[in-house]
Amino acid sequence: MLDKIYFLYSGYIYKNTLSFKVKRWLLKKIYNLLAVPYYSNRDSTLSGKENVIVSLTTFPDRIEKTWLVVESLIDQTNPPDKIVLTLSSKQFTNGLAGLPKKLLSQLNRGLEIIWTDDDLRSHKKYYYVMIKYPNAKVITVDDDFFYSQGMVEHLLNVNQKYPDSVICNLAAKKNGSSYKDWKNMLFQETLATTDIMQYGGSGVLYPPNALHRDAFDKDKILELCPLADDIWLNCMTIINNKKIVKTSYPYYLMPVYFKQTRALKDINVGEDMNSVQIKKLKEHYADYE
């Protein structure tokens, strides 16, 4: 039932007419209402191996609903071996004792929490898990979307055809140094290329050693691209002589409803900080196009 609603919602992404906006809004409301009772009754457990890991991070304003995102990642047609959630002890000062019970219960079903003393913001979604599990295929996701049941399976299937490439379900077609000129490609498929930027929220598979070593240089992250992990990871992929493949996966992203918080993308896009960071990266890395 939920997957059918998800697919129907994805079909209304193409147009911004009032009719399509209303239909999307209704489907989002229905999905969010049905998701809580549906996921509350799940008890599947992941293998706990270290081959395929889904990784995400979050912050206090969203922690109450993080269990729903995790549950959608457990409830996959081809589940990952484990899910890793990286949290900053600067933000969650009470440690495990301050986390929701529903999230803590998932620790027995394949969820692992990595604690860090600093706060790299959205960069936490890949940084620590890739250092801890260097031989794993790491799939990054965001904390504000439900994930359709075939997301992981689809990425893994395409990974078999392009084992050395980064695989994503959503991407932007790059066009110069102004992020405002980069276009969302929606469901358009691409072969291996460096002309697109992977959207981390869509589910992005990074094979081992996909990123340049500078990806794990905190000073460079904070100096060059502190607010845009997608752009940073795109740069780190390309300067490492790797390519990106965008799949034709026909599902868009179903948002999780939260109380009003200012999303990082509102800062980056609204204030055009993405373009500022792109410019810095191109000045620093001559190979980043």
- Domain map of the chain by residue range? 2-40, 52-284
Of 56-65, 129-138, 263-272, minimum mean pLDDT range: 263-272
The CATH number of 52-284 is 3.90.550.10
Q: Pseudo-torsion of CA 161, 13, 175, 228, nearest 10°?
A: -80
Return the bridge partners of 41, or none: none
What was the pLDDT predicted at 289?
A: 78
Give me the mean pLDDT over the 264-275 stretch.
64
Distance CA 278, CA 281 (A): 5
Q: How confident is the model at residue 263 (pLDDT cuts 50, 70, 90)?
A: low
Which pLDDT tens digit goes with each residue over 36-86? Answer: 999 998 999 999 999 999 999 999 999 999 999 999 999 999 999 999 999
Alpha-carbon distances, residue 231 vs 123, 149, 268 (angstroms) = 11, 27, 11
What was the pLDDT predicted at 271?
A: 61
pLDDT score of 124 more than 70? yes
* Average pLDDT, rounded, for the chain: 94
Which pLDDT tens digit goes with each residue over 184-226? Answer: 999 999 999 999 999 998 999 999 999 999 999 999 999 999 9
Please give the structure tokens belonging to residue 228. Answer: 């845009």
What was the pLDDT predicted at 14?
A: 80
This prediction has a pTM of: 0.94
What was the pLDDT predicted at 267?
A: 47
204 contacts 133 by C-beta, under 8 angstroms: no
Q: How confident is the model at residue 108 (pLDDT cuts 50, 70, 90)?
A: very high
